[in-house]
């Protein structure tokens, strides 16, 4: 059934959009294919991955590396939209994306995504090093192939394993500016990785009918809402202390320790509420609150690290 | 069945406007890439790269 939808969508769009041999998409449609909000998060976390190690490299090289990581992330988002155009057309949340909305043909999106993927990896290799370029190529492959083409439609653990792709940018960034992968970026990776399940499952609880209609096996649709709530709580119990790991490893200062403690308690309080409230409007409202707060939590953690290391606000907690 | 295709030269004003914008964006991106390569070269190798004997 899914294949039939894909084929008919692809043929229809290719016929209507490329009949004259000229693309019909606007510049803003192509930009939307790059998932700008995800790109912003990638740039932000990658920048923090760079700043916390105080690299001894020219700012221009660091900027160019960051730009290529951003373009690589955008390219993987574009390939994701190309592959998922059939289910994006079904879901209310995604049906206005450029391909299902009929603004860009699938073939154009594929060409655009592949060009940017190859280009960003090559240029990152040239401006920084082969390790960083290889890690960026792996990130794009992991998101576009492992997550989008395989995990997303086959297992409720899709966003758990696929979350690795979203967590890799600090590692790529540290490799780009130092030539190796250190504990700092691995800890930042772990924080984003463990943060991903409660973040997405809170959204999945609210949008479960949307995912159900598209046939995506999200945790609430497969294991049920109650099991999802238990797992959200379990991951949040792991996340709250993990958020303090930068302090233990010495690159999170006093301000970070305070923010991570308060933020972790806030996440825990909301996860407990999500676990307790299971029926009706209050249950949906608290899940929505957890989703919103989780974005704020991650943003504030990384922004604090950025301020401590980039603006000189670092005050050590120990000694 | 053979599709009747509209010649590329008969684009509507709106399609022409979008094509111009895409062309402009592509030109600006290529220009930015050239500038990026130049600046990164200078940053990595230093200004001496421009003063090598022929």
Q: What is the pLDDT of residue A4?
A: 40
Residue range A26-181, CATH number: 1.10.357.140
ipTM of the complex: 0.78
Asked whether A108 and A63 are in contact (CB, 8 A), the reply is no
pLDDT class for A301, splitting at 50, 70, 90? very high
Q: Would you list the domain boundaries of chain A?
A: 26-181, 183-319
* Minimal C-alpha gap between B3 and chain A (Å): 8
Q: Do A20 and B44 touch (CB under 8 A)?
A: no
* Minimal C-alpha gap between A123 and chain B (Å): 9
Alpha helices in chain A (DSSP H): 2-17, 27-33, 36-51, 59-83, 85-90, 106-127, 130-141, 158-167, 169-178, 183-206, 208-214, 219-222, 225-242, 245-248, 254-276, 280-310
In this predicted structure, the answer to whether residue A7 has a pLDDT above a threshold of 50 is no
Nearest by CB to residue B43, choosing from A15, A61, A123, is A61
Average pLDDT (A158-176) is 95
* Minimal C-alpha gap between B20 and chain A (Å): 10
Q: Distance between CA A98 and CA A19 in Å, rounded?
A: 18
Q: Distance between CA B17 and CA A122 in Å, rounded?
A: 32
Asked whether A159 and A221 are in contact (CB, 8 A), the reply is no
A96 CB neighbour count, 10 Å cutoff: 12
Average pLDDT (A290-296) is 96
More confident residue, A75 or A15: A75
Q: Do B36 and A15 touch (CB under 8 A)?
A: no
* Minimal C-alpha gap between A127 and chain B (Å): 7
Q: What is the pLDDT of residue A17?
A: 53
Q: Do B5 and A21 touch (CB under 8 A)?
A: yes
Nearest by CB to residue B43, choosing from A22, A24, A58, is A58
Q: Distance between CA B49 and CA B41 in Å, rounded?
A: 8
Asked whether A25 and B22 are in contact (CB, 8 A), the reply is yes
Tell how far CA A80 is from the center of its chain: 12
Selected residue of B2, B26, B36 to mutate for chain A interface (largest A Cβ count, 10 A): B36
Handedness of CA A81, A83, A84, A87 (dihedral sign): positive
In this predicted structure, the answer to whether residue B49 has a pLDDT above a threshold of 60 is yes
Q: Do A27 and B21 touch (CB under 8 A)?
A: yes
Phi, psi of A128 (to 5 degrees): -120, -95
pLDDT class for B7, splitting at 50, 70, 90? low
Residue listed under structure tokens 């307790």: A276
Average pLDDT (A42-65) is 93
Q: Do A61 and B25 touch (CB under 8 A)?
A: no
Q: Would you list the domain boundaries of chain B?
A: 20-54
State chain A's mean pLDDT as an integer. Answer: 91
Residue listed under structure tokens 């700012």: A59
Q: What is the pLDDT of residue A8?
A: 45
Q: What is the pLDDT of residue B6?
A: 52
What residues of A are in contact with residue B46 (Cβ under 8 Å)?
Answer: none
In this predicted structure, the answer to whether residue B46 has a pLDDT above a threshold of 90 is no
Task: Give the number of residues written for chain B.
Answer: 54
């Amino acid at each position: 059934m899914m294949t039939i939808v894909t084929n008919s969508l692809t043929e229809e769009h290719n016929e209507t959009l490329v009949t004259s041999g000229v693309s019909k998409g606007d510049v803003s449609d192509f930009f939307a294919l790059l998932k700008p909000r995800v790109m912003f998060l990638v740039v932000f976390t990658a920048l923090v991955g760079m700043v916390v190690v105080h690299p001894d490299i020219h700012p221009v090289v660091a900027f160019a590396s960051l730009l290529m990581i951003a373009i690589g992330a955008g390219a993987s988002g574009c390939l994701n939209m190309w592959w998922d155009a059939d289910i994006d057309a079904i879901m209310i949340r995604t049906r206005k994306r450029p391909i299902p909305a009929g603004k860009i043909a699938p073939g154009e999106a594929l060409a655009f995504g592949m060009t940017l993927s190859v280009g960003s990896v090559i240029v990152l290799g040239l401006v920084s090093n082969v390790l960083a370029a290889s890690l960026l190529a792996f990130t794009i492959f992991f998101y576009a192939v492992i997550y989008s083409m395989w995990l997303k439609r086959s297992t409720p653990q899709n966003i758990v394993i696929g979350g690795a792709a979203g967590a890799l940018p600090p590692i790529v960034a540290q490799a780009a500016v130092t030539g190796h992968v250190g504990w700092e970026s691995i800890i930042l990776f772990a924080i984003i990785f463990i943060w991903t399940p409660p973040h997405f499952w809170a959204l999945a609880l609210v949008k479960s009918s949307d995912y159900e209609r598209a046939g995506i096996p999200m945790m609430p649709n497969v294991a049920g809402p109650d099991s999802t709530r238990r797992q959200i709580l379990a991951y949040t119990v792991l996340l709250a202390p993990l958020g303090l790991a930068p302090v233990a490893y010495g690159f999170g200062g006093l301000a970070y320790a305070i923010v991570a403690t308060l933020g972790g308690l806030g996440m825990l309080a909301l996860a407990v509420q999500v676990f307790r409230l299971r029926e009706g409007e209050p249950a949906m409202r608290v899940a929505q609150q957890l989703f919103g707060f989780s974005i704020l939590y991650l943003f504030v953690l990384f922004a604090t690290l950025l301020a401590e290391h980039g603006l000189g606000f670092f005050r050590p907690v120990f000694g | 069945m053979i599709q009747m295709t509209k010649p590329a030269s008969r684009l509507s004003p709106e399609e022409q406007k979008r094509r111009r914008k895409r062309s402009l964006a592509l030109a600006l991106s290529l220009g930015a890439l050239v500038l990026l390569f130049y600046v990164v070269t200078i940053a990595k190798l230093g200004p001496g790269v421009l003063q090598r004997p022929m």
